[in-house]
Amino acid sequence: MNSRLVVYVISDSIGETGEQVVKAAISQFVCKDCEIRRFPYISEEEQILEIINEAKNEKSMIVFTIVIPSLRKILLEKAKEHNIIAVDAMTPIVEALEKSLNEQPKNEPGLIRKLDEKYFKKIEAIEFAVKYDDGKDPRGLKKADIVLIGISRTSKTPLSMYLAHKNIKVANVPLVPEVVVPDELFEISPRKIIGLTTNPIKLNEIRQERLKALGLRNEANYASMDRILKELDYAENLMKRIGCPIIDVSSKAIEESARIILEIIKEND
């Protein structure tokens, strides 16, 4: 029999966890002739029998991360039958957690990968919201799940970021009477667009506070009631022209406005 040690890493998921554990363990030895063979997505008894049949002819051991009890039982029985050392890298930790949490495990393979995928989708959505914030690039409107439109200080950016954490790709477009809106806004479905409006008195207060923060005088046109009413009227007419839902955000927290938007998305699916 070959003196080389072959470590079979068997998993009902991708098998990366088992392989990393084996590599970490091997690093503690002067193992000049060790080989790791990974067998991911093992879901049938026949696959296990094939691997055992290969392993029995070599100097080998098995490390496995299998959460399906029936497959785990077969693997342990067959490995013992052929005097192959088989190390269960998952069950002792799962059983310890089961006792500590007083909760039954799901015994469903691939859950960590699903969690990772969800995480990366969230990061992608956040990066999207930053890239297509404040009308920076109108090409993003066609790629977005939702497009928020509204005049300045109607919570477009905070809502975009909040929804991004829900894995939703959001672009937003500021509405200014003197600035022509991008053509893309009329080339996408109005069901994807959400109009944001607010109470003019509340908006006046917000804009005055904004001017103070910037060290500017309150008399600036940006915070004047005439200007605000003009902008709101322009935005309302545009939203009606598009035919999109309109949400009044003046008395709503970001979470509440986001909940309404999520309900609209759900209804449109």
Cross-strand partners of 9: 38, 63
Residue 192 marked in a binding site: no
Residue 73 marked in a binding site: no
Residue 195 marked in a binding site: no
Residue 155 marked in a binding site: yes
Q: What DSSP letter does each residue of 143-176 carry, written as one string?
A: H-SEEEEESTTSSHHHHHHHHHTTT--EEEEE--
Q: Strand pairing of 193-197 and 170-174?
A: unpaired
Classify the C-alpha dihedral 222-228-232-233 as positive or negative: negative
Helix (H) or strand (E) holding 195: strand 193-197
Q: Which residues contact 186 (CB under 8 A, 6 or more apart)?
A: 242
Residue 131 marked in a binding site: no
Residue 198 marked in a binding site: no
> Between the CA of residue 245 and those of 98, 104, 239, 254, what are the distances in Å?
47, 44, 8, 17
- Of 199, 193, 197, nearest to 181 (Cα)? 193
Q: Strand pairing of 34-39 and 60-65?
A: unpaired
The pair of structure tokens assigned to 210 is 């904004």
Residue 135 marked in a binding site: no
Q: Which residues contact 14 (CB under 8 A, 6 or more apart)?
A: 40, 41, 110, 113
Amino acid at site 166:
K
Torsion on CA atoms 174, 179, 184, 185, rounded to nearest 10:
50
Residue 152 marked in a binding site: yes
Binding-site residues, please? Answer: 150-157
Binding-site residues for ADP, please? Answer: 150-157
